[in-house]
Amino acid sequence: MSEEKTDSKINKESVVKWGVIIAAIVISIPLLIALLLNVNIFNFALGNTESWIAFWGSYIGGMFGMIGVIITTYIIISNNKKNIEYSMELQDRQVRDRDATTFLLNKSEQVVELLDDANTLLSTSMSLFIRMAVGREFIEMLASQMDSGRSTKVDIESKISIQTAELNEMSEKSLSLRPLVIDRLNKAVAKSVFIDGVSDEIRDLIEFIIKQEDIITDAMVDRESSELINQMSKELIDEVSIKYNPIQRRLTEFSREQLEKLMNG
């Protein structure tokens, strides 16, 4: 606001200054011509005073007309140049804004994909925990049957061997899934730094998942029942969904805002 007042003041001072100069020139020229006509240097030229006044009037008028045309042309060219520069700057700013908006929209979509991927991997990991707990109980049941002599030792040992191999395979897969879940979530954190509050919520989600997975792993080591493992796994999935929903809403709202910006151009 202060800059606009300063510019306005400068323009007014400039107008007054040039107005005074022009007025002085307009008043001085007739007086100067009248004085020059009485100087002896002009006595050699033909013509009376009236004809010389007419000559100087037309000469000076033409000169002022030419100067006026030059000044007008300069002002028009200057204004056109400013308008072109402003249009180019405005267009460049619009392009930069559109690129920035597209960049943010892509980041938001990538975060959603990473969270969905992490959620799928986590569900798979929890399913493996449950299957491992059930498989472990099945092996314990087979061992008790062998001790009671209700089945042949060879048959039971074969079943135990098969089940143990499956448990080992599920354990390896479960161990490989955990870092993948955390990796997806860490990437989501990195890509969501431009979205207010989302990265902090995802960090909290990572801490929660790590803590709860450690608890379930300890329960597996302590040979807790499959029912308890199943309950703990479902509680983890449900809690992750609860924490994920506000993040999803925030990302959806952010994406909608960016799409509106692109549509409004």
Measured torsion, CA atoms of residues 51, 52, 56, 62, in degrees rounded to the nearest 10: 30
Distances (CA, A) of 80 to 4, 8, 70: 22, 21, 15
Query: What is the average pLDDT across 198-217?
Result: 90
Residue 173 has pLDDT above 50, yes or no: yes
Q: In which band, very low, low, confident or very high, does the pLDDT at 38 lie, cut at 50, 70 and 90?
A: low
pTM for the model: 0.65
Rounded CA separation 212/204 (Å)? 12
Tally DSSP H helices, then E strands, for the chain: 5, 0
Q: In which band, very low, low, confident or very high, does the pLDDT at 180 lie, cut at 50, 70 and 90?
A: very high
What residue type is assigned to position 86 of the chain? Y
